[in-house]
Structure 1
Amino acid sequence: MTVDTSDMLKSIFDTFSGLDYIRPEDIPNIDLYMDQVTTFMEEHLKKTRRYPEDKILTKTMINNYAKNDLLPPPTKKKYSREHMLVLTFIYYFKNLLSITDIQALLKPLTDKYFKKGGDFGIEDIYKEVFSLEKDELAKLRKDIEEKSAISKETFKDAPEEDRDFLQLFSFICLLAFDTYMKKTLIEKLIDSLDS
């Protein structure tokens, strides 16, 4: 089994550089019905799917988010720009955090900044947070390249026919450990919100 991690990483980095977030100005200036929300999210986040048949957000998911207090309820069955921004946060968090953790993280934001008017709201928070992410891609790429190089130095004494797989396994383990530690840190930070 031969795996060319260099080509694979280049392809993944090309995909990363093509990813973009939903800009508030991309969201229509009118409130949307559920079908419009799911269509909008599917269209704008389709590049983040692992498999083409994966659903970004379904009606059931959105209804459950509102029912579980992750998302403020719609007004007359319509969702505002702020709803869309909160849904985007939920979308990115849901693959990493539990519903309880997402609720603990978003509830203070929605309680204080959702539909409050004034000079500072959900849209300002969203813009600030997402503005940080582009700079993080270069750091992420460097970190991943370093982990890839480290993994290529492992299993030098393994049988040649197994070496590529074992080095790939080593690379995945390094990435998984990094993810596990960051996830644990995020959970501890969320737990500290109750303190």
Structure 2
Amino acid sequence: MKIDTKDMLKSILNSLSRIEHIKPEDIPNIDLYMDQVTTFMDTRLSSSKRHPEDKILTKTMINNYAKNKLLPPPVKKKYSKEHLLVMIFIYYFKGILSITDIQALMNPITEKYFQNDQKFSIETIYNEVFSLEKSQADKLAKDIVDKYNTSKHTFENVEKDQEFLQLFSFICMLSFDVYVKKQMIEKLIDQLPGE
């Protein structure tokens, strides 16, 4: 099995440099119906799909988020710009956190800042958090390259399946990093003040 890990690494780093969040000014200033929300999110976050047929958000997901009080309910079946910003946070969290953890994290935010008619809003929080994106992406790219280079020095004395074992090593290092960070996030969520 021949694996071109250099091309794979280059592809990963290129996709990392293309990650772009939805800017609040790109969200329509009018309230949207469910179909419009799913179309908007699917279009704007399509680059994060693993497979072309994957769905970013479905009607069922959004209804479940509202039913479980993870997302404030729509007003007359319409979703505001703030609803979409909350859905974007949920979208990024759902890949690593349980719904219960996302609720514990997001409920204080939505209770205090969702449609509060003050200068400090969900949009303010969203902008502040996503303003860190570029500096974090650069650090992440460096870390990925370091892990890749380390993995290239594993299994040096193995002839058969060396490339596969080095790829396995690289995946394990990336996975360990995610595992440790997930554990840290869960511990931090467990420390959040209760209701």
**Which residue does 1:29 correspond to in 2?**
29
1:135 corresponds to which letter in structure 2?
Answer: S
Are residue 64 (structure 1) and residue 73 (structure 2) matched?
A: no
Q: What secondary structure does 1:161 align onto?
A: coil
Deviations 1:72-101 (A, max 9, x none): 000010000000000000000011100000
**Which residue does 1:190 correspond to in 2?**
189
Residues 134-173 of structure 1 mapped to structure 2, 5 A cutoff = 134-158=134-158, 160-173=159-172
Greater Cα offset, 16-25 or 100-109: 16-25
Q: Which structure features the higher share of helix residues? A: 1
State the alpha-carbon separation in 2 of the partners of residues 23 and 8 from structure 1.
Answer: 29
Compute the RMSD of aligned alpha carbons.
0.8
TM-score (norm 1): 0.97
Deviations 1:9-48 (A, max 9, x none): 1112111212210100000010000000000000100000
Unaligned runs of 5+ in 2: none
**Which residue does 2:18 correspond to in 1?**
18
Contact 2:72 2:83 in 1 (8 A): yes
State the alpha-carbon separation in 2 of the partners of residues 157 and 59 from structure 1.
Answer: 53
CA displacement at 1:4 relative to structure 2: 1.9
State the alpha-carbon separation in 1 of the partners of residues 131 and 109 from structure 2.
Answer: 18
Deviations 1:175-194 (A, max 9, x none): 10000000000000001003
1:177 corresponds to which letter in structure 2?
Answer: F
2:34 corresponds to which letter in structure 1?
Answer: M
1:166 corresponds to which letter in structure 2?
Answer: L
Q: Give aligned pairs, total.
A: 194
Q: What secondary structure does 1:168 align onto?
A: helix
State the alpha-carbon separation in 1 of the partners of residues 3 and 148 from structure 2.
Answer: 12
CA displacement at 1:2 relative to structure 2: 2.1
| Identity between Structure 1 and Structure 2 (%) | 66
Are residue 104 (structure 1) and residue 104 (structure 2) matched?
A: yes
Contact 2:16 2:141 in 1 (8 A): no
Unaligned runs of 5+ in 1: none
TM-score (norm 2): 0.97
State the alpha-carbon separation in 1 of the partners of residues 98 and 91 from structure 2.
Answer: 12
**Which residue does 2:114 correspond to in 1?**
114
Q: What secondary structure does 1:29 align onto?
A: coil
